[in-house]
Amino acid sequence: MNEQTQSYSHPDLAVRHSYPVIFKEEGFMAAFNLCMKTLPYMLMRIGAYLAFTIAAVIWAALCFGIAYLFSGKDDKGGGGVIFFIIAIGAPAGIFYWLKQYVLYMLKAGHVAVLTKLITVGELPAGINQVEYGKKIVTERFAQTNVMFALDSIVTGVARAFNGTLDWISNILPIPGMDSIMNVVHKIVDNATTFIDETIMSYTLARGDENVWRSSADGLVYYAANVKPILKTAVTALVIEYVITGIVFLIALIPAYIISWMLPGDLSSFAWVIAIPITAGVRAAILHPIFLVMVALTFHKNAQNQPINLDLDQVLTKVSDKFTKLKGKIMESAKPAQEQIS
C-alpha cells in the first residue's frame, strides 16, 4: 500500500487506530517549532488573507469613488449611497464563498502536513508540502462539501458535550461570580474552534476510508480525554487573545502612518487596516500554533486507548448532530455493501 494512502484504521477493534505518534513534545514552544517546519503553508495562508483583504479594500474604494462622482447635490448624495450599497452588496456572497473556500482548503492542507509531521516526523521524499497537503485532502475527503459538513457537525457535537460538563463550573467556585462564569463558559465554547481541526487531524492520521466513522470515533476520544484537551485548548485560546492584542497594537503603527498620508475625510478611517492585518496574522500564524498544541494533547492521550462505547451513547443523547453523523456512516457504507452483494 502506498505510504500516502496508508490506513491505520481498525473500526472493529477496541482501539480504533494504530497510527504512530513520533512528535511527543507538548506546549507552546513545541507547537511553534513544529509549525515553523510548515512555513511555506503559513506564508501562503497569510498571503491569501492579505490578497482578499486588499481586493476588498480596492473594490470598496472604487465603489466609493464612483458613488461620490455620481452623487448629485440635489439628492444630497442619496443616489450615490444606493449605488454604493448595491455595488458592495451584490458580489458580497460570491466573494465570501470564494474566500472561505480558498482559506479552508489551505487550512485543510496545512492540517494534513502538520498531522504527518506529528505521526511520522517527516513528509514523503520528492514532494513539497503544499502538493502533499493538497493530495492528501483530495484523497481523504474527495468532496469539499464533506469537509464543510464535518466541520459544522463536529463543532456542534463538541459544544453540546461541553455544555454537560459540570466541572467547568467549578473552575471558579466563588459565590456571586456569575458574570465571570459566563466568561469562562464563553472561552470554553470558543475553544472548540480547535476541536474540529483536531478531529480532522485524527481522521487524516487514522486513514479510514469512511471519514464520517473516524470523525465519530474522534469525538468519542475527545469526550474520553476532554479534561486535558480542553485545558490545553482554553490555555491556547487565552494566549492567542493576548498575542492578538499585541499584534493589533503593533499593526496600528503602519495604520496611523497611512492615516497621516491620506487626505481629510478619509484619514479617520485608515486605522481599520490594522484589523485585517491582525486577523491575517492570527488565522495564518497564531491559530496553527495553538491548533498543534491541542492536537498534540489529543494524539498523545488517544494513542493505544480503547474506545469508550458508553461515551458514544452519551454523545448520541446530548447531540442530534452526533446522531446525524452516525447516519452518514451508514450512508457512506451502502455503495460498498451493494458492490459486495
pLDDT tens for 192-234 read 889 999 999 999 999 988 999 999 999 999 999 999 998 898 8
Q: Mean pLDDT over residues 24-51, rounded?
A: 91
- Residue 47's SS3 state is helix
Consecutive H or E run containing 61: helix 39-69
C-alpha to C-alpha distance for 216 and 212, rounded to whole angstroms: 6
Q: Report d(CA 28, CA 207) in Å as an integer.
A: 27
Amino acid at 134: K
Gap between the Cα atoms of 154 and 54, Å rounded? 32
Nearest-Å Rg of the Cα atoms of the chain is 23
3-state DSSP assignment of residue 336: helix
Higher pLDDT, 41 or 95: 41
Q: Report how far residue 308's alpha carbon sits from residue 23's, in angstroms, rounded to the nearest whole number.
A: 25
Tell me the CB-side half-sphere exposure of residue 185, using CA atoms within 13 A: 17
H/E run at residue 42: helix 39-69
Give the dihedral of Cα atoms 194, 196, 200, 201; nearest 10 deg.
Answer: 20
Confidence band of 2 (pLDDT split at 50, 70, 90): very low
CA separation (Å) from 175 to 62, 172, 331?
55, 9, 49
Percent composition of the chain: helix, strand, coil (DSSP 3-state, to 5)? 80, 0, 20
DSSP state of 172: S
pLDDT higher for 175 or 111?
111
Phi, psi for 289 (deg, rounded to 5) = -65, -45
- pLDDT at position 7: 82
CB 29 within 8 A of CB 293: no
- Per residue in 57-86, pLDDT (tens digit) is 788 777 777 777 766 555 555 566 676 677
Q: 38-57 burial, b if ≥16 CB within 10 A, otherwise e?
A: beebbebbbebbeebbeebe
